[in-house]
Amino acid sequence: MALIELTGIERVFQLGDSEVHALTALDLSIGAGEYVAVMGPSGSGKSTLLNLLGLLDRPNAGTYRLEGRDVTTLSPDEQARVRSERIGFVFQSFHLVPRLTAAENIALPMTLAGIPVKERNVRVARALSGFGLENRADHRPDQLSGGQRQRVAIARATIMQPALILADEPTGNLDRHTGEEVVNLLEALNASGVTLVVVTHDQAMGARARRQLVMEDGRLKHDSGQPAHAPA
Amino acid sequence: MRLPDILRFARDAATGYPMRTTLSVLAMSIGVAAVVILTALGDGARRYVVGQFSSIGTNLVIVLPGRSGTGGFNPANAITTTPRDLTVDDAAALHRASAVSRLAPLTVGTSEISFGGRLREIIVAGSTSDFIPIRNFEVAQGRGLPEEDWNRGSSVAVIGSKIREELFGNEPAVGQLIRVGDRRLRIVGVLKPVGQGLGMNTDELVIVPVSLAQAMFNSNTLFRILVEAKSREAIPEAKEQVMEILKQRHRGEEDVTVITQDAVLATFDKLLGALTLGVAGIAAISLAVAGILVMNVMLVAVTQRTGEIGLLKALGATARTIRLAFLAEAAMLSTVGAVVGYLLGQLGAFGLRQAFPVFPAYPPDWAVIAGLSTALITGLLFGVMPARRAARLDPVQALMKH
Ligand SMILES: Nc1ncnc2c1ncn2[C@@H]1O[C@H](COP(=O)(O)OP(=O)(O)O)[C@@H](O)[C@H]1O
Ligand SMILES: [Mg+2]
């Protein structure tokens, strides 16, 4: 069974009098544990697709099955729960809370989920050492380098042990070397079984993924992993 | 999200923007402090006046010559327009009233006192032996006026403490002969100092027998008759009886006014109570203004933290969690503001009491409770709108604002 199954997805934005078809007739299936790069020109609908996958947005038509369950019809609270437990986000601009320390930022998803402090502390300590941030636990985001910030963001995205990590141009704000490190981290996570969907402009980085999706004008123009036969 | 976490999150958010937070806390605290200080002033005034009125005597019924404006049309009054004067005999007749325990006629005028070449202006009160106890005055040296026939006053006087001091210094005053107007009087007693009270300053008073005073001022009318009822419950009855007796003596005309201390007290109590309520109301407006300020601050916070709200949603926060976090922040701002304002207000009231020791400037409990709860409620109410706005934000749009 596929982790993600999109069928007939449409996403239309109303811009004044005109309609923008950000996603059109999109069918897509992603299996558990896959490593997928989403590429394509700017405005082709990559972010819109990722937002839909992350349940931050709803399609105008079509169905989205996540782990076999139709999640488009869930209530906002149920969707929040799915985001909390199954999905981790990594953003281009890191999106750390400026007044919270690195440790507090990493703990934030657990805090929101109501996990007890003790458990939180154990998991945060593990994450800090896992991402090489032991000495940065009490630093605020403005005291961290870009690479460190993105590492904090990745630690935060994984702290709830999600099945799916969605990264929208995670290296867009980083230099080549630091970007490399971040990609390595994400790939290591994928190697441990987490499904990884990365939006990227970078051809080289896209090429590292086992499967490439190329978007154009809201349509899926190319899918390197499209199996000739339907997946089991 | 657990409650302690929500509170901590709200606290960090509030302290993360010190300027904003300080401003709204300040506004709220000024509002609460205003309520506390203004009601302390209002209620202090009420207590002060009531206290002063209570000190002029207990269960007092006071008779004034002349009809007061209230009351229905009386044909008897329509015929004779000039009211009869009150006389000493009128006062004496009031002994018949069963609800009256004791009474004293009172006539008042100004004169000069002289002793050993020293001369000064004084107020002369002409009355009888019961005047001093009825008015709750106390005699420091000697005795009060003698019990005697009201129409044949002996040539004696009781003087106030300040007069004694000025005329006699350290020498004994009791037994000395003084001159008041054209009379030579022997001092039989000196009053204890009481200071400035409502009405006359007893420290500069000379009390003489009523008939003597009337002779001095060449008049046979009275300024007042002070009547003491047997008990608090007997006050209305005493008033009734006094009115009835004087009406009989004045050929059926109700040409006197009888007021009770209770009624005067109640009137002042009500008046000043209303005043306090009024200033509390005005102060409450500043609380509402503070509430609106808190709302604006929270709206700004929502705008400022739009990206953060989007992030929280992406990380799995429900709308309820976000609402609670922002409400908690608004509640915190107004709670801290209310507490700071309460302390400031109490400090202000304390300062007032230090500056004016006779003035009991204590804020009434109801005002403190009302002020604090208004602050909290307006803070919460005005926090609801921004909190809901935050919870309703579209996560995708919100995330783009970063
Ligand atoms: N909220 C929105 N309102 C209107 N149009 C939007 C909105 N979000 C995206 N779009 C439009 O949808 C299209 C796809 O956008 P997006 O998914 O952000 O592209 P990409 O991430 O590939 O650059 C673009 O034409 C964009 O202008
Ligand atoms: Mg994009």
What is the pLDDT confidence band of residue B73, given thresholds at 50, 70 and 90?
Answer: very low
Residues of B in contact with A81 (CB under 8 A): 316, 318
Res. B243: pLDDT tops 70: yes
Q: A47 CA distance to ligand 2 centroid (A)?
A: 4
- Determine what percent of chain B falls in helix, strand and coil, rounding each to the nearest 5: 55, 15, 25
Do B90 and B114 lie in one domain? The reply is yes
Helix/strand/coil for B311: helix
What are the C-alpha distances in Å from B55 to residues A145, A202, B11, B241, B364?
Answer: 78, 93, 53, 24, 22
**Cβ contacts of B395 on chain A, cutoff 8 Å:** 56-57
Residue B287 has pLDDT above 90, yes or no: no
Q: B49 or A198: whose pLDDT is higher?
A: A198
In the numeric block, the tokens 């010190």 are attached to B18
Q: Is the CB of residue A49 less than 8 Å away from at least one CB of chain B?
A: no
Which residues of A fall within a CB distance of 8 Å from B15?
99
Cα distances (Å, whole numbers) of residue A149 to A135, A162, B181:
13, 20, 99
B281/B395 same-domain check? yes
Residue nearest to atom 17 of ligand 1 (CA): A45
d(CA A73, CA A20): 23
Please indicate, yes or no, whether residues B233 and B302 belong to a single structural domain of this protein: no
For chain A, what is the total number of helices (H) and then of strands (E)? 7, 10
Looking at B220, B254, B288, the residue that finishes a domain is: B254
| B37 lies in the same domain as B182 | no
The verdict on B182 and B226 lying in the same domain is yes
The answer to whether residue B66 is domain-embedded is no
Sign of CA dihedral A87, A88, A92, A98: positive
Which residues are paired to A66 by β-bridges?
A: A4, A69
> Does A98 contact chain B (CB < 8 Å)?
yes
**Is A66 domain-assigned?**
no
Q: How far is the CA of A214 from the centre of ligand 2 (A)?
A: 13
Mutate to test the pocket of ligand 1, among A20, A216, A217 (most ligand atoms within 8 A of CB): A20
Residue A99 forms contact with B (CB below 8 Å) = yes
Residues B174 and B142: beta-carbon distance below 8 Å: yes
Rg of chain A over all Cα atoms, to the nearest angstrom: 18
Domain annotation covers residue B48: yes
All residues of chain A having their beta carbon less than 8 Å from the beta carbon of residue B12 are 99-100
CB-nearest partner of A80 from B318, B396, B399:
B318
CB of B330 within 8 A of CB of B386? yes
Q: How far is B301 from chain A (nearest CA, A)?
A: 14
Pocket test of ligand 1: the residue of B396, B399, B401 to mutate, having most ligand atoms within 8 Å of its CB, is B396
**Interval B12-17 mean pLDDT:** 90
Are residues B315 and A97, on separate chains, in Cβ contact within 8 Å? no
Q: How far is B29 from chain A (nearest CA, A)?
A: 26
Closest residue in A to B17 (Cα) is: A99
The number of folded domains in chain A is: 1
The verdict on B94 and B242 lying in the same domain is yes
Ligand 1, atom 24: closest residue by C-alpha: A43
Cα of A13 vs centre of ligand 1, distance in Å, is 8
Using the mean position of ligand 1's atoms as its centre, give its distance from the Cα of residue A213 in Å.
17
**B271 and B250 co-located in one domain:** no
How many C-beta atoms lie closer than 10 Å to residue A97's C-beta? 22
**Percent of chain B whose predicted confidence (pLDDT) is above 70:** 94
Query: Six-digit token pair at A70?
Result: 């139709």
Say if the Cβ atoms of B402 and A156 lie within 8 Å.
Answer: no
Number of domains in chain B: 2
Structural domain contains residue B376? yes
* A-B Cβ pairs (cutoff 8 Å, strict): 69
In whole angstroms, how far apart are CA A116 and each of A108, A112, A163? Answer: 12, 11, 22
Identify whether the C-beta of residue B134 lies closer than 8 Å to the C-beta of residue B226.
yes
**Chain A: closest CA distance from residue B15 (Å):** 9
Is the residue at A166 inside a domain?
Answer: yes
Judge contact between A186 and A26, C-beta under 8 A.
Answer: no
DSSP class of A87: E
Q: Residues B354-374: pLDDT tens digits? A: 998 888 899 999 889 988 888
Quote the domain boundaries for residue B226: 85-254
Q: With CB atoms and an 8 Å threshold, state whether B5 touches A160.
A: no
The reply to whether A160 falls in a domain is yes
How far apart (Å, rounded) are the C-alpha atoms in residues B43 and B271?
11
Q: Among residues B254, B275, B304, which one ends one of the domains?
A: B254
Do B5 and A100 lie within an 8 Å CB cutoff? no
C-alpha dist (Å) from residue B209 to B124, B176, B212: 10, 17, 5
- Predicted local distance difference test score (pLDDT) of residue B47: 85
Pocket probe mutation, ligand 1, options A17, A48, A219, max atoms within 8 Å of Cβ: A48
Q: What is the pLDDT of residues B127-182, one digit of tens each?
A: 999 999 998 888 999 999 999 999 888 999 999 988 998 899 888 999 999 999 88
Domain membership of residue A197 (yes or no) is yes
Say if A150 falls within a structural domain. Answer: yes
Q: How far apart are CA B49 and CA A37, in angstroms?
A: 85
pLDDT given at position A137 = 96
Reported as half-sphere exposure (CB side, CA atoms, 13 A), residue A145 has a value of 9
The answer to whether residues A152 and A106 touch, using CB atoms and an 8 Å cutoff, is yes
Contact A95 B311 (CB under 8 A): yes
pLDDT digits (tens, 9 = 90+) for B83-123: 678 899 999 999 999 999 999 999 999 999 999 888 889 99
Residue A11, in any domain of the structure: no
Which atom, in ligand 1's list, is nearest to the CA of A199? 21
SS3 A184: helix
Rounded CA separation A39/A46 (Å): 7
Residue A110 is predicted with a pLDDT of 97
Q: Which chain A residues are Cβ-neighbours of B312 within 8 angstroms?
A: 108, 112
Q: Which of A78, A79, A31 is nearest to A55 (CA)?
A: A79
Q: Which pLDDT score, from 0 to 100, does residue A230 have? A: 44
Q: In 3D, which of B351, B372, B378, B374 has the Cα closest to residue B40?
A: B351
B91 and B231 within one domain: yes
Q: What is the pLDDT of residues A188-226, one digit of tens each?
A: 999 999 999 999 988 989 999 999 999 999 999 999 986
Looking at residue A231, what is its pLDDT?
Answer: 46
pLDDT of residue A68: 94
User: Per the domain annotation, does A116 fall within a domain?
Assistant: yes
pLDDT at B313 over 90: yes
Kindly give the parts of chain A with pLDDT less than 50: 228-232
| B315/A81 touch (CB, cutoff 8 Å), yes or no | no
Q: CA–CA distance from B105 to each of B13, B129, B224, B264 (Å)?
A: 74, 10, 6, 20
For A218: left if phi > 0, alpha if psi spans -120 to 50, otherwise beta; the answer is: left
Residue B238 confidence (pLDDT) above 70 = yes
Closest Cα in chain A, distance from residue B294 (Å): 21
Nearest residue to B348 via CA among B364, B365, B363, B368: B363
A142 touching B, CB under 8 A? no
Selected for mutation to probe chain A from B7, B304, B315, B329 (highest A CB count within 10 Å) is: B315
φ, ψ for residue B357 (rounded to 5)? -60, -30
Q: Are A112 and B317 within 8 A, CB to CB?
A: yes
Asked if A141 reaches chain B (Cβ–Cβ under 8 Å), the answer is no
CATH of the domain at A86: 3.40.50.300
Interface probe for B, chosen from A111, A160, A165 (most Cβ of B below 10 Å), is A111
Which amino acid would we find at residue A142? D
Judge if B98 and B242 occupy the same domain: yes
Establish if A89 belongs to a structural domain.
yes
Contact B319 A77 (CB under 8 A): yes
**pTM higher than 0.90:** no
State residue B378's pLDDT score: 84
Average pLDDT score over residue span B192-196: 73
Task: Show the domain range for A128.
Answer: 33-59+76-223
Biggest CA–CA distance in chain A, Å, is: 53
B23 min Cα distance to partner chain A (Å)? 20
Tokens of A4: 């993600």
Q: Domain for residue B161, yes or no?
A: yes
By CA distance, what is B316's nearest residue in A?
A84
Please judge whether B402 and A114 are an interchain contact, meaning their C-beta atoms are less than 8 angstroms apart. no
- A13, A51, A57, A213: residue to mutate for ligand 1 pocket, most atoms within 8 A of CB: A13
| The pLDDT value given to residue B203 | 81
**In terms of DSSP bridges, do strands A164-168 and A195-199 run parallel, antiparallel, or are they unpaired?**
parallel
The answer on B240 and B162 residing in a single domain is yes
Is B175 part of any domain?
yes
Residue nearest to atom 25 of ligand 1 (CA): A43
Measured CA to CA in angstroms, residue B335 lies from B34, B279, B308, B381 at distances of: 16, 22, 24, 13
Instruction: Compute the nearest-CA separation of A55 from chain B (Å).
Output: 8
Helix, strand, coil percent values for chain A (each to nearest 5) = 35, 25, 35
Output the pLDDT for position B69. Answer: 53
Out of B254, B276, B297, a domain closes at B254
B179 and B140 together in one domain: yes
Same domain for B40 and B108, yes or no, is no
- DSSP state at residue A71: -
